[in-house]
Amino acid sequence: MSPAQPPEIERILFTEGEIAQRIAAVAAEVSERYRGRQLKLIAVLKGSVFFLAALAQRIEVPLKIDFLAISSFASSGKPTGVVRIAKDLDEPIEGEDVLLVEDIVDTGLTARYLLQTLAGRGPNSLAICTLLDRTCRRLVQVPVEFRCFEIPDRFVVGFGLDYRQLYRNLPYIAVMRP
C-alpha cells in the first residue's frame, strides 16, 4: 500500500509508473555503454538509495555497489560549495569503471567535488547518473552522462528525496507547497 499524499504536496511531478519507465530506459543505456565490462555503482547517501536499487536491478552488466555520505555546508540558505565526505567508500576504485549515482544534481558544486575526489583515486572511467537534473540552478558545469528527468526550480520530494528526512518513501516525485 502506498503512503497517502501528504497535504504539503502541491502536485505530483512524476508518477511511480513514469519513474519506473525512465529508470528502465536509463538502465538500458548504462548496460549498453558498459557491455562487456564490470561496473561499480557508487551511491551518495541517503537520497539516492531508492534510485540505486531500482537502477541496479535493471542494469544488465556485472556490478558492484559502494556508498559515500557527504556533508555540505551552506550559509544563509545559499550553497557555498564546501563539502566533506562523512562516510567514505569501503573499497578502492582504482582501475574500475565507476558510475556515481545521484538523486539530484542541482548547483553542480557537490557533483564537481565528488568527481574531482573520485578521479584522484584512479578509476578506469568515471561518469554521473542522476535521477533528477535541475540545470536551471547550475553554478558549475558538470558532465551528467545519464539522467532520468530534468526538473524546474521547485523543491521536490519522494523516491528518496526528503524534506527534513520525511517523504523519502513516497513512490512518486512531487513538488512541495511553498
3-state secondary structure 56-106: HHHCCCCEEEEEEEEEEEEECCEEEEEEEEEECCCCCCCCCEEEEEEEEEC
> What class does CATH assign to 17-71+81-154?
alpha beta
Three-class DSSP category at 158: strand
Q: What is the mean pLDDT of residues 43-67?
A: 97
**pLDDT confidence tier of residue 36, bands split at 50, 70 and 90:** very high
Say how far apart CA 7 and CA 81 lie, in whole Å.
33
> pTM here?
0.92
Locate the domains of the chain by residue range: 17-71+81-154
Residue whose C-alpha cell is 512524476:
14
Active site residue 97: no
| pLDDT at residue 39, rounded to an integer | 98
pLDDT at 65 over 70: yes
Question: Mean pLDDT in the chain?
Answer: 93
Q: What is the mean pLDDT of residues 145-149?
A: 98
Residue of 106, 133, 153, 162 marked catalytic: 106
Q: What is the mean pLDDT of residues 140-144?
A: 96
Say how far apart CA 78 and CA 110 lie, in whole Å.
13
